[in-house]
């Protein structure tokens, strides 16, 4: 196998991802570029816009699809609330909300026409209950019009909307296989200007753990409710350069009907090299001085051979599906992902990608997350050669993250369960 990291005499570092084979070059002198600085002069926040800054803000809940679930924190603790009607949305403050994506990657029609998939009984009952109230009917009608206009469907502006149009559009709004987990805050509490965004790293470790658990349940439910789902992709796009529609913290949970080429290659390799992730993950990172932090059940390290500089988190002692992991394992995974985001900072665009063993796979595959810093733009060189040029090498990523984590730990802003490298 090609050595994953090679340093040349001029300082160029050539990387080969030991899992995917992706080739990356880091050129000398690029690692000193500043990161995490606001791109423009901050503007004051208008108090009249409180919790109404974008369509994901909780004061604008009726601009998003009917809620599947919410996570509420009150004096009695954390509660998972489901089955709310439109008239109930303002009766509690959701810390996190689970909703269907209005414009899915794979629509209800895709699943129904390609696989014969039908909405579950629970989905049908929720749709009937929601449409039975005036507020619910008004909400769904407005969303149906948006979908019809987007597709150029005749009748979108009819008054009233035709019943058959409402019924057709409503099915997908309650039987979606592409869901979104939305955090409450757009800006941090007590923010005074628009540079003070609320990202993953500004949550408390407890809040981030709840966010993680809520997402894992959504993933599990999609597998359970759609027997045609081969894989459920979980990812988080943070800021516009990383593909986010809003600068508002959210994860996406998307069912697809195939594993994908990379996952299939991983499975085949694991059949002959079952320790692949341990060997080329935590063990290789430790041998190269790339470990950022550890917990009892997980490890975070600077990734090798990613298209963008990356921090990687692996669960080290669990190979099952994410919902089969113990509470301590999920907590350790969450604490390290949170710490990686906190060390990255809210002004660095990033993609957080989860990788896991789906239920149909019988080889060991730990839960992993990759946090990629979207600080460069792929161009013609990368397209023509499939060699990617990174601005920061893995050792510099590790040093930046460790330095930031030590400061954050001193301020009590990351979990005390973490042992920093």
Over the stretch 311-357, which tens digit does the pLDDT of each residue have? 999 999 988 999 999 999 999 999 999 999 999 999 999 999 999 99
**Over 80: is that where the pLDDT of 37 sits?**
no
Distances (CA, A) of 340 to 111, 178, 203, 275, 352: 36, 26, 12, 25, 10
Contact between residue 212 and residue 333 where contact means Cβ atoms under 8 Å apart: yes
Mean pLDDT of 108-118: 94
**Over 60: is that where the pLDDT of 31 sits?**
no
In terms of Cα–Cα distance, which of 324, 321, 323, 301 is closest to 313? 301
Over the stretch 212-249, which tens digit does the pLDDT of each residue have? 999 999 999 999 999 999 999 999 999 999 999 999 99
The neighbouring-strand residues paired with 233 are: 254
Q: What angle do CA 266, 269, 272 make, to 5 degrees?
A: 150
pLDDT, averaged across the chain? 94
Q: What angle do CA 146, 150, 153 make, to 5 degrees?
A: 90
DSSP state of 411: T
CA–CA gap between residue 405 and residue 419 (Å, rounded)? 10
**Over 70: is that where the pLDDT of 29 sits?**
no
Amino acid 39: pLDDT: 67
Q: Which band of pLDDT confidence, cut at 50, 70 and 90, is reported for residue 146?
A: very high
Contact between residue 415 and residue 204 where contact means Cβ atoms under 8 Å apart: no
For 86, the enclosing helix (H) or strand (E) is none
Query: pLDDT over 70 for what percent of the chain?
Result: 97
Amino acid 41: pLDDT: 86
For 375, the enclosing helix (H) or strand (E) is none
Over the stretch 371-384, which tens digit does the pLDDT of each residue have? 999 998 888 888 88
CA–CA gap between residue 59 and residue 74 (Å, rounded)? 18
């Amino acid at each position: 196998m090609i050595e994953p990291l090679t340093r040349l005499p001029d300082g160029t570092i050539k990387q080969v991802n030991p899992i995917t084979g992706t080739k990356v070059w880091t050129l000398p002198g690029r690692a000193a570029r500043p990161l995490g600085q606001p791109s423009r002069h901050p503007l004051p926040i208008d108090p009249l816009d409180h919790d109404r800054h974008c369509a994901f803000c909780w004061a604008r809940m009726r601009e998003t699809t009917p809620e599947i679930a919410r996570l509420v924190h009150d004096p009695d603790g954390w509660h998972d609330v489901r089955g709310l009607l439109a008239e109930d949305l303002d009766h509690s403050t959701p810390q996190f909300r689970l909703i269907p994506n209005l414009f899915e990657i794979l629509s209800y029609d895709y699943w129904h026409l390609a696989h014969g998939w039908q909405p579950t009984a629970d989905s049908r009952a929720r749709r009937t209950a929601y449409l039975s109230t005036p507020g619910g009917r008004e909400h769904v009608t407005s969303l149906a019009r948006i979908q019809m206009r987007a597709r150029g469907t005749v009748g979108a502006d009819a008054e009233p909307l035709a019943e058959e149009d409402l019924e057709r559009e409503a099915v997908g709004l309650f039987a979606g296989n592409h869901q979104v987990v939305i955090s409450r805050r757009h800006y941090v509490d007590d923010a005074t200007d628009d540079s003070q965004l609320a990202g993953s790293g500004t949550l408390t470790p407890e809040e981030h753990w709840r966010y993680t658990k809520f997402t894992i349940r959504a993933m599990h439910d999609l597998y359970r409710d759609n027997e045609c789902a081969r894989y459920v992709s979980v990812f988080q796009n943070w800021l516009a350069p990383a593909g986010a529609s809003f600068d508002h913290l959210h994860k996406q949970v998307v069912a697809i009907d195939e594993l994908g080429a990379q996952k299939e290659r991983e499975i085949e390799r694991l059949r002959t090299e079952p320790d692949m992730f341990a060997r080329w993950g935590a063990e290789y990172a430790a041998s190269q001085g790339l470990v950022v932090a550890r917990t009892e059940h997980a490890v975070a390290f600077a990734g090798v051979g990613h298209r963008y500089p990356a921090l990687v988190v692996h669960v080290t002692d669990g190979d099952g599906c994410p919902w089969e992991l113990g509470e301590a394992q999920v907590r350790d995974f969450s604490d390290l992902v949170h710490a990686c985001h906190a060390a990255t900072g809210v002004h660095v665009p990033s993609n957080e990608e989860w990788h896991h063993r789906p239920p149909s796979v019988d080889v060991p595959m730990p839960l992993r997350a990759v946090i990629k810093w979207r600080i460069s733009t792929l161009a013609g060189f990368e397209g023509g050669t499939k060699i990617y040029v990174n601005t920061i090498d893995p050792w510099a990523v590790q040093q930046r993250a460790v330095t930031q984590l030590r400061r954050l730990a001193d301020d009590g802003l990351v979990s005390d369960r973490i042992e920093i490298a």
